[in-house]
Every structure is written in C-alpha cells, then in structure tokens.
Amino acid sequence: MEPVNSAPSNALKVPPDESGQRLDLFLAGQNLNLTRSRIQNLIRQGRVLVDGARVKPNFKVKPNQIIRIEIPAPQISKIQPEKIPLDIVYEDKDLLVVNKPAGMVTHPAAGNRSGTLVNALLYHCRNLSGIGGVARPGIVHRLDKDTSGLLLVAKNDSAHLKLSRQLQDKSLFREYAAVVWGKMPQKKGTIDAPIGRKPTDRKKMSVTAVASRIAVTEYEVKESFRPCELLSIRLKTGRTHQIRVHLAYWGHPVTGDPEYGGRSKWINNLKSSAERNQAEEILKLISRQALHARKIGFIHPATGQYTEFESRIPLDMQELLAYLRR
C-alpha cells in the first residue's frame, strides 16, 4: 500500500506491481481491517472511489490511480443481550467455538429479532467483533436455523479478519454429518455445481448457471442402511444451503429437510406403500434436516497454531441412526 502524499489516511495510490488486480482483492490485501465482503458492500454503496469515480468490485486497478475509501462510523447495536444458555466448546480472549442447537437462528433478521445466538453471545461477552456489522457481531460464518453444530465466533476485529481470510481461501476446515435418502452413486465423491438464488423462490437456493457462484462439496459414505445413508461431508466452498442444495440436486436430499425435498416430496415419490410407511416412521424421529456441523479446524489468529474441535451428533440424529441400525 502506498499512501498519497498529504492525502487523508483513507486514500491509497495503486503501485505498479498491483496493476490489473480486481479492486476488491486489492483492497482486501491492504491491512484495512475489513473483510472482502465488507469491502464489496462499501464499493457498491459508492463509498469507494477510483480517481473520483464510482466503479464495481471487479474493476481492474491501474498504476497510480487514487482510491479513496469512506468507512462509516460504527453504529450502535440495538440487539438486546438475552440470558440464553450457550454450549461453549472453547473460549479465549480472541474467539469462541459454540455448539449451536437446532432451532436457534444464528443472528437477528426479519422475523427473528430475539432468541438468536447473537442475543445469547452479547449477554455472555459484551465485546464482539464489529466487522460483520451491527446485526452480526462476532459471526464469522453461519449455520441454518435447523442445522446443529459448531460455529466460530470472533471477539475482536483482528481475529475476525484472520478467520474470515481462512474462510475465503478455503483453509478453514469444516466437516458435517448428514443422513440422506437413498444410496449415493459412489462411496466417495465430489459435487461440483454452481449455486444461486432460485428464480421462482428467492428465499431458496438452487443449482443454476444464472447469477451463481462456484460450489464444491465432498462426501464419503460412512454407513449404509436400507432407505438412507450416513455421510461425512466436507465443504470446499461456503454457499447458502450448499450441502442441502447439492444433495437434493443429486437426488438424495437430507432426511427431514422440508425445503429441499427431504420430507413429503420424498415420500410422495416412493412407489410402494411399504416404502412410504417406512419413510413416515423415519420422519417421526426427526423434525428438521438431519445435518450436524461435527468438526471445525482453523489456524488460531493469535497463536498461529492449527486448532480443531469436534461435537457429538445430537440426540435426535442419534435416535434416527439407532432406528436405522435396527
């Protein structure tokens, strides 16, 4: 980064060796304590100007261009701390690893202003990183409401930035356990299919070539049963609903998933009444998608040491697996 002479601290001059790089990537490497997604939002809001002009995040920078960045003052969070029990797997001055139960929303949003993980975190520790914005303090990544398992939370901006970079460069390790319908085509495999918003329902995701992003999921069959299989899944990318969308796309939706074909849709497609009856018995044991974030591994932002944590499969999935094994 080359500061502009006598210019304010939020003005940068593009050096010759950075020519041709995307604007958002260039700024992400300038030690601004901003995540790439935050930088992209600032660019879209017109708070980043290149030689005085608004540009897009994918704009290619050129030598000696002057980039001015307006970073809004932090807003005061209106989220109320709530005394909600937390299953904390690990905690230090920089971060927490929390085991989120199924049914808990990660952060406040429309329709879920209270009772979220963030409400509970703010009661437990008042200081969380602000990089994610006022609605998502400390949240490095998310889990769907009805997906259980391990979540990483940052207590300060420096830790959040370093952990987010691991998420972006795919070095942050995440492994899930999932029970799916049917038999996977191979014992091990990779699902490589782009994911974007479903054109007919913007609340859902789908495999599509339109306005989509690369999505890669690796799986391994751990146990096979007559109607289902237990998979170990590793994420190579982190798209919204990625595991659920990819497995449904392959014709093996997560058991119990109401949004992506794992409940009534699966039962309706079964040919025999015996198969339908068996599927109905299975679904009585699980009221949500049978998906659990079982392991998480990362380079600790302060110590530089690789750290890994594991969470037991929760009771509802244990009961489902016990039934399938019988």
Task: Single out the catalytic residue among 144, 157, 169, 201.
Answer: 144
Phi, psi angle pair for 247, to nearest 5°? -70, -40
d(CA 165, CA 160): 9
d(CA 291, CA 148): 7
Amino acid at 11: A
316 catalytic? Reply is no
Q: Phi-psi category of 316—alpha, beta or left, where left has phi over 0 and alpha has psi -120 to 50?
A: alpha
d(CA 51, CA 57): 15
Residues 6+ away with beta carbon under 8 Å from 68: 8, 10, 11, 12, 48, 49, 52
* Contact of 147 with 102, CB cutoff 8 Å: yes
Please choose, from the candidates 84, 77, 131, 75, the residue with its C-alpha nearest in 3D space to the C-alpha of residue 108: 77
d(CA 4, CA 9): 8
DSSP code per residue over 154-175: ESSHHHHHHHHHHHHTT-SEEE
Q: At what angle do helices 157-168 and 36-44 cross, to 10 degrees?
A: 90
Q: Phi-psi category of 66—alpha, beta or left, where left has phi over 0 and alpha has psi -120 to 50?
A: beta
Catalytic residues: 144
